[in-house]
Structure 1
Amino acid sequence: MGKAEVRRHGRADEGELGDAVRQARGGDEAAFAVVYREVHPMLLGYLRGLVGDDAEDVASETWHDIVRGIPRFRGDGQAFRGWAAAIARHRALDHVRRIKARPRTTPLEDGATEPMTAEDAGGSALENLSTRRALDLIAGLPQDQAEAVLLRVVVGLTAPTAAKVLGKRPGAVRTAAHRGLKRLAERLDGDGGSRG
């Protein structure tokens, strides 16, 4: 399959996302729902790579900022992904600073949620196994490589857009992503491709 033929499963094209963003800026709630469904899984994956289990909390803060700022946003689908990723990154960095200032001393218990049925738990475990393994491997990369891989692969940003998020040159982002992906491939080959 050629490069031009590769399309990430379930991802809207940038024109569709751009149209939904323009409509959402005007207050169209259905369009905002499309934007959220399209962008949230990628942002959540990016945030898991940055803050681990606190990703959901940071994502909700990110969406709060996105909702407040979307009327002023101008750009296409790719620019929106970059803008949203930049907000997520800033929120993640704020979160890390807060945690360092006030570290948790005891784990929180999550007794307020409904228990999963065996079917839900099994499906969720299978669905998240490869994602969690991939994010664990990415988290083991040097920070510049991890962020470049997350932005390029998980969020789906172009090198110039990812470079704006990171405050680097596009070539530096391409190089970091390439090195990170190469290092991940070496680790997987070293594991014999085993899954954890």
Structure 2
Amino acid sequence: MLSVGLPFPQVLAAAQAGAGWAFEHLYRELAPSVTGYLRLHGALEPEDLASETFISVFTGLASFSGDEGALRAWVFTIAHRRLVDDWRRRDRRPQHAEVGADVLESRPGGDAEEDALAQLGSATVQEMCAILPADQRAVILLRILADLTVEQVASVMGRSVSAVKALQQRGLATLRSEFGRPGDTLGAGPAMSGMR
């Protein structure tokens, strides 16, 4: 995850001590994937939710302990909670604004998102996400964009590992049936190789 050249414990310790460069580095490394996750989940203002997520991350960072994977899982847990809160707010106060079909094309994302968009095209990614129920979409996006393990996704979503595996399996089966060509197996590429 970290490309600054320093070991993760040093970057984390510097961020926990209040070093601006360390905060900035963590944000640069994680924000594109967080924003992509929120955007592909239909958040009307993904950048705003990402900002709220990182305010919470930086506020609570002093009490965090763990490795890089644990940090990613913790950040995406916060992002997922912000997303659920946003859904609840929208249910209470329905919005009439519509998100245009070109929303993904007009806003750059992280490396995983850029790779997926380059390979599949933004319209296909939107179409793929739109056909999945929210819980299956969350599992697939957390596994691909956030690069979380099944156990970490279960923690983020507040579900059991077996429930997450079932959601992943159903989501991939839906995507295969909708988008797979005869003789083609969706999930054979590098992005989904570890998801079986």
Contact map agreement 2:43 2:83 (CA 8 A) in 1: no
1:144 aligns with 2:126: no
Corresponding position: 1:175 with 2:166: yes
Q: Which residue of 2 aligns with 1:62?
A: 53
Q: Report the alpha carbon displacement of residue 59 of structure 1 after superposing the two structures with TM.
A: 0.9
Q: Percent identity?
A: 32
Structure 2 counterpart of 1:153: 144
| Cα distance in 1, alignment partners of residues 52 and 152 from structure 2 | 22
User: What is the letter of the counterpart of residue 144 of structure 2?
Assistant: V
Deviations 1:41-97 (A, max 9, x none): 111121113233421121111111111111111111111111111111111111111
Structure 1 stretch displaced more, 141-150 or 130-139:
130-139
- Which amino acid is the alignment partner of residue 161 of structure 2? P
Of the candidates 39, 42, 58, which is equivalent to residue 33 of structure 2? Answer: 42
Q: Which residue of 2 aligns with 1:96?
A: 87
| Alignment partner of 1:85 is 2:79 | no
Query: Which consecutive segments of 4 or more residues in structure 1 shift more than 6 A?
Result: 121-124
For the residues of structure 1 that align with 2:133 and 2:57, how far apart are their CA atoms? 28
2:189 matched residue in structure 1:
none
Residues in 1 aligned to 2:141 and 2:107: alpha-carbon distance in whole angstroms: 24
Q: Provide the aligned length of Structure 1 versus Structure 2.
A: 168
Q: Deviations over 1:109-160 (max 9, x none)?
A: xxxxxxxxxxxx8996xx6572453244123212221111011111111111
Answer yes or no: is the 8 Å Cα contact 1:18–1:80 preserved in 2.
no
User: Where is the helix percentage greater, Structure 1 or Structure 2?
Assistant: 1
Deviation at 1:37, TM superposition (A): 1.4
Q: Distance in 1 between matches of 2:98 and 2:132?
A: 26
* Distance (whole Å) between structure 2 residues aligned to residue 141 and residue 122 of structure 1: 23
In the aligned structure 1, how far is the partner of 2:166 from the partner of 2:40?
A: 19
What is the DSSP-based 3-state SS (H/G/I as helix, E as strand, rest coil) of the residue aligned with 2:45? helix
Please give the alpha-carbon distance, in whole angstroms, between the structure 1 residues aligned to 2:82 and 2:143.
19
Partner of 2:22: 31
Structure (1 or 2) with the larger CA radius of gyration: 1
**In the alignment, residue 52 of structure 1 is paired with which amino acid?**
A
2:74–2:156 contact (8 Å) kept in structure 1: yes
Report the CA distance shift for 1:30/1:134 in structure 2 as closer, same or farther (over 3 A): same
User: 8 Å contact 1:78–1:157 — kept in the other structure?
Assistant: yes
* Partner SS state of residue 103, structure 1: coil
SS at match of 1:155: coil
The alignment's TM-score, normalised by the length of structure 2, stands at: 0.72
How far off its partner does 1:184 sit?
1.6
Q: What's the C-alpha RMSD, in Å, of the aligned pairs? A: 3.1
Please list, as runs of the form range in 1=range in 2, the aligned pairs for 1:110-149 lying within 5 A after superposition.
130-131=121-122, 133-149=124-140
Amino acid at match of 1:99: R
Distance in structure 1 (CA, Å) of the matches to 2:161 and 2:73: 13
